[in-house]
DNA sequence: AATAAAACGTTACGGATCGTTTCGTAATAT
DNA sequence: ATATTACGAAACGATCCGTAACGTTTTATT
């Protein structure tokens, strides 16, 4: 989202950007996303639903994907809480359960659709990595680091690799869709955290 | 690819389907894919490059993705060989190395692009799962089953889960792109096969 | 040899959507 | 009062979709 850089409140002459229009755009996009896939969403459709001109949308967002990303991140807690005290393995196991629960349903679909669109637009994928994946998984990463400090985990553990070993199977299922993100899977994966990190 | 069902050689009257046109379409698509992403490929572009009419392409393939899939699968060995004797862990470790090597470069990009397009077209994703993923990973799955038979692996091991634990991180990196599919990663992942399967 | 049938390449079609431009109007700073 | 900017509406040229129309070519059938 490209916010106007009026730091010293509207110093420039001319009509100010309409926050109301912006809100209408976000709201219309959110509503439309409830009933159609990202691919079917169009800027023209959003403009019509929001009662707004197309140029106004383009004034705020570069592309459909950028808009969808903002809407998704606004309505989705982009950070799943993790227990910051106690055994790190238990904290991570629970985090795995919560991440899987979060990716079940429409939220997971949208994540998959954005990543899908991102295959054709690298900068979208990069932005989504930073704004979603990095943020979502940051607490888990920090917890692994903590475990290396406390001695609960091997100090030479490769954190990047460990993160991929734990969370890779989740996104594999989400994106390829060969198996469901159901509770048995979640429990099995959570139960594996210990052996994955400690051996 | 929709082949004509002329089992008893061209029994129907009328001009037969032109195998030459089909070849030209496949060849043109392959050539175009070397210099542009799947998203940028168009049926009109292929028709022009192949010296063929659009309707002829639609006679053979339902959609751009179906065509791309055929081209990709034709030029890519959709099955990475695996050693069928000896220790199963060693066989699987080597298979992991080979799969990662295969997904490095343009082939991996196309896999990611097809999966990406598949997020908006479920039937495409399903077809690609069956024709690429299932086929590529079938030998590994069979090897795990063999290990359960020989006692090298726990007999109650969940094969589906095991497959995702091993291969999930690979596709996670391929599709999200947060880390490279480089050789250190490949070696680390291969080295982890034993502990992943045996504990 | 004549006829019917089917695929061919070409061309054109209506439709959707893109991202931009133009226009007259509204809102703000100077 | 004037300059400046955003606004909504409308229209633009462009691209690509998937299909249809047309005359031509190739085959099986009669």
Position B83 scores a pLDDT of: 98
B11 touches chain A (CB under 8 A): no
Position A94 scores a pLDDT of: 98
pTM (global) more than 0.90: yes
Q: Which of A43-47, A169-173, B12-16, B30-34 has the lowest mean pLDDT?
A: B12-16
Distance, Å, A25 CA → C29 C1': 27
The residue ranges of chain B whose pLDDT is under 50 are: none
Residue A55 has a CB neighbour count (10 Å cut-off) of 8
Alpha carbon separation from B54 to A10, A12, B21, B33 (Å, rounded): 54, 53, 11, 18
Asked if pLDDT for residue A7 goes beyond 90, the answer is no
A115, A195, A199: residue with CB nearest B176: A115
Average pLDDT over residues A70-96: 94
CA of A14: nearest nucleotide by C1' is D5
Over pLDDT 70: what percentage of chain A? Answer: 95
Average pLDDT over residues A59-76: 97
Please report which confidence band the pLDDT of residue A77 belongs to, taking 50, 70 and 90 as the band edges: confident
Position B2 scores a pLDDT of: 77
Asked if pLDDT for residue A33 goes beyond 70, the answer is yes
Distance, Å, A183 CA → D8 C1': 49
Position B9 scores a pLDDT of: 54
Alpha carbon separation from B39 to A39, B2, B135, B147 (Å, rounded): 13, 22, 25, 41
Q: Are A65 and A124 in contact (CB under 8 A)?
A: yes
Position A5 scores a pLDDT of: 58
Position B199 scores a pLDDT of: 87
A113, A120, A172: residue with CB nearest B164: A172
The C-alpha atoms of residue A192 and residue A173 are separated, in whole angstroms, by 17
Q: Is the CB of A151 under 7 A from strand C?
A: no
Q: Is the CB of B49 under 7 A from strand D?
A: no
Q: What is the ipTM of this complex?
A: 0.95
Residue B39 has a CB neighbour count (10 Å cut-off) of 14
Average pLDDT over residues A128-153: 98
* Short-list B108, B107, B87, CA closest to B151: B87
Mean pLDDT of chain A: 95
Please report which confidence band the pLDDT of residue A199 belongs to, taking 50, 70 and 90 as the band edges: confident
The C-alpha atoms of residue B138 and residue B82 are separated, in whole angstroms, by 10
The dihedral built from the CA positions of residue A161, A163, A166 and A168, taken in this order, carries a sign that is negative
Q: Is the CB of A18 under 7 A from strand C?
A: no
Asked if pLDDT for residue A4 goes beyond 90, the answer is no
The C-alpha atoms of residue A178 and residue A168 are separated, in whole angstroms, by 14
> CA of A60 to nearest chain B CA: how many angstroms apart?
25
Asked if pLDDT for residue A117 goes beyond 90, the answer is yes
| Per-residue pLDDT tens digits for B32-69 | 999 999 999 999 999 999 999 999 999 999 999 999 99
Position A11 scores a pLDDT of: 66
Q: Which of A12-21, A23-32, A53-62 has the lowest mean pLDDT?
A: A12-21
Asked if pLDDT for residue A46 goes beyond 90, the answer is yes
Total residue length of chain A:
199
């Amino acid at each position: 989202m490209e916010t106007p850089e009026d730091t010293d409140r509207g110093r420039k002459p001319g009509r100010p950007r309409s926050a109301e229009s912006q809100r209408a755009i976000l709201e219309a996009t959110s509503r439309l996303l409830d009933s159609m896939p990202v691919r079917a969403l169009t800027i023209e459709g959003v403009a019509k639903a929001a009662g707004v001109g197309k140029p106004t949308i383009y004034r705020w967002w570069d592309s459909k994907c950028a808009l969808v990303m903002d809407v998704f991140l606004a309505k989705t807690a982009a950070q799943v809480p993790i227990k910051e005290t106690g055994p790190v393995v238990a904290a991570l196991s629970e985090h795995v359960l919560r991440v899987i629960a979060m990716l079940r349903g429409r939220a997971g679909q949208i994540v998959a659709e954005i990543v899908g669109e991102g295959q054709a637009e690298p900068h979208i994928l990069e932005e989504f990595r930073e704004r979603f994946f990095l943020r979502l998984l940051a607490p888990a990463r920090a917890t692994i680091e903590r475990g290396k400090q406390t001695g609960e985990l091997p100090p030479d553990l490769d954190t990047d690799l460990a993160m991929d070993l734990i969370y890779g199977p989740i996104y594999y299922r989400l994106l390829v869709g060969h198996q469901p993100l159901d509770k048995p899977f979640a429990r099995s994966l959570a139960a594996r955290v210990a052996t994955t990190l400690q051996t």
